[in-house]
Amino acid sequence: MDDSAQQRLFAETPGSIEPPETGLYLGSSGWSYADWEGTLYPEALPSASRLAEYVKHYSAVEIDSTFYGTPRRSTVQKWREVAPDRVLFAAKFPQERRICDVSRIANSESIVTSLLHLYSGLPHVVIACSSQSAAARTWCTSRA
C-alpha cells in the first residue's frame, strides 16, 4: 500500500480497526501492560478491563502468558466474552510441554488436539512455537 492510499484509508475510516486488507491482522504481544495507561488505556483502568479496551483498537493479540502455562478453560471463556468475533488470538505452546524441541514435534498430535479443544471457543486462534533452540527454529521455519 503506497503512502497516498494509506492516507486515504485513514481519512476515510478514522479510528477504524478493521484490517485495510483482507487477512491482515494488527496487534501486539499482549494487552496487560500498565505502562499503556494514559496512552492506549484511560488512567486508572482496572487490569481486568484491559483486554476489553485493547480490542477497541487492535484486531489481533499474542497471548504471551500461554508460553508459561496452559490457561484454565474459564480464562479462555472470559477472553471470548470480552473480544468481538473479528479478533485473532495468537497463543503459544506452553514451555512445559517442550513441544517445540525438534525431537518432540513429530509426536505432538495429542497435545495439539488438546490445545485446539481448549481454544475452540475463540473465533480465530493460531498456536505458535516459541523456542530458544536454534535447531527447533530452523526445523519449524524449514517446514513453514
Q: What is the mean pLDDT of the chain?
A: 77
Q: pLDDT of 72-100, one tens digit each?
A: 999 999 999 999 888 999 998 887 656 66
What residues does 89 pair with on adjacent strands?
A: 61, 125
Cell of residue 105, nine digits = 514435534
Domain that includes residue 106, residue range: 16-142
Q: pLDDT of 29-74, one tens digit each?
A: 899 999 999 999 999 999 999 999 999 889 899 998 888 888 999 9
Torsion sign across C-alpha atoms 111, 119, 32, 57: positive
- Give domain status of residue 1, yes or no: no
- Give domain status of residue 125, yes or no: yes
In angstroms, the Cα distances linking 36 to 6, 57, 76, 141, 143 are 25, 13, 23, 33, 37
- Give domain status of residue 27, yes or no: yes
Most confident among 95-99, 102-106, 124-128 (mean pLDDT): 124-128
In angstroms, the Cα distances linking 99 to 34, 43, 72 are 31, 40, 19
pTM of the model: 0.71
- Give domain status of residue 4, yes or no: no
Number of domains in the chain: 1
- Give domain status of residue 9, yes or no: no
Segment (H or E) for 99: none
Q: Which amino acid is at 53?
A: E
- Give domain status of residue 107, yes or no: yes
